[in-house]
Amino acid sequence: MALNASRNDLASGAIFVALGGYFALEALRYEFGTPFRMGPGFMPVVLGGILVALGVAVAAKGMGKPDAEAPAPWPWRGILLVLGTILFFAATIRGLGFVPVVLISGLATALSSSRNSLLSALVISVGLCVLCMLIFVVGLGLLVPWIGPWLRF
């Protein structure tokens, strides 16, 4: 698709507009107050408005100026596995416990690099698990069960 505008500028402008719009609209539900006694909604409404305006300006500036470089390929595998791992970690650290969660997380993140084979990913995850256990649980006394309640019989 031939697009006579900077993709980067349009996209970042859109992010600014979306986030600024969210903050401003949500903040309209809070008390606005007066300049003398500003309410909780004052700053977010003003700043949200500014952000929307900046977003529009960024997008407008990108019009007629296509990006010089072709965009880098999206690291889908990395995005999926790295973010998935973080979400998995948050969801299961209480239930599964430290050892299983760290093992699985380490394995999954290592696999997000196309340069890791299954074997090297396994080695990395076991190594990291031992390292993290030594640093955080033994060294710093992090209070978290090694094996969580979901796995106990």
Partner 1 sequence: MDLISSLALGFSVALDPINILYCFIGVLLGTLVGVLPGIGPTATIAMLLPITFSLNAETALIMLAGIYYGAQYGGSTTAILINLPGESSAAVTAIDGYQMARQGRAGPALAAAAIGSFFAGSVATLLLAFFAPPLARAALNFGAPEYFSLIVLGLLVSIALAHGSILKALGMIVLGLLLGMVGQDIYTGTPRFTFGVRELFGGLNFVAVAVGVFGVAEILRNLENEKEREVGVTVVKNLWLTRDDVKRVIAPILRGTVLGSVLGVLPGGGHILSAFASYSAEKRLSKTPEQFGHGAIEGVAGPESANNAAAQTSFIPLMTLGIPAHPVMALMIGAFILQGITPGPNVINEQPALFWGIIASMWVGNLLLVILNLPLVGLWVKMLSIPYRVLFPAIVLFACIGTFSINQNIYDIYAIAFFGILGYLLIRFGCEPAPLLLGFVLGPLLEEHLRRAMIISRGDPMIFLHRPISATLLGLALLAVIIAVLPSIRKKRTEVFVEDD
106-135 residues near partner 1, rule: CB under 8 A: 106, 109-110, 112-116, 120, 124-125, 128, 131-132
Q: What are phi and psi of 78, to 5 degrees?
A: -65, -50
User: What is the footprint of partner 1 within residues 11-30 (CB under 8 A)?
Assistant: 11-12, 15-16, 19-20, 23, 26-27, 30
Separation CA 82–CA 58 (nearest Å): 30
Would you say 80 or 153 has its CB closer to partner 1?
80
CA 21 to chain centre: 20
Query: How many other C-beta atoms are found inside a 10 Å radius of the C-beta of residue 89?
Result: 16
Size of residue set near partner 1 by CB under 8 A = 73
16, 53 contact by CB (below 8 A):
no
With CB under 8 A as the contact rule, the residue among 5, 21, 47, 122 that binds partner 1 is 47
What's 140's DSSP letter? Answer: T
The C-alpha angle with vertex 97 and arms to 133 and 131, in degrees rounded to 5, equals 15
Q: Which of 28, 38, 130, 134 binds partner 1 (CB under 8 A)?
A: 38
- The length of the chain in residues reads 153
What amino acid is encoded at 144 in this protein?
V
Q: How far is the CB of 44 from partner 1 (least distance, A)?
A: 5
Place of tokens 């299961």: 92
One residue of 4, 68, 143, 152 binding partner 1 per CB under 8 A: 143
Smallest separation, CB 10 to partner 1 (Å): 9
Region 52-91 residues binding partner 1, contact defined as CB under 8 A = 54-55, 57-58, 61, 71-75, 77-79, 82-83, 85-87, 89-91
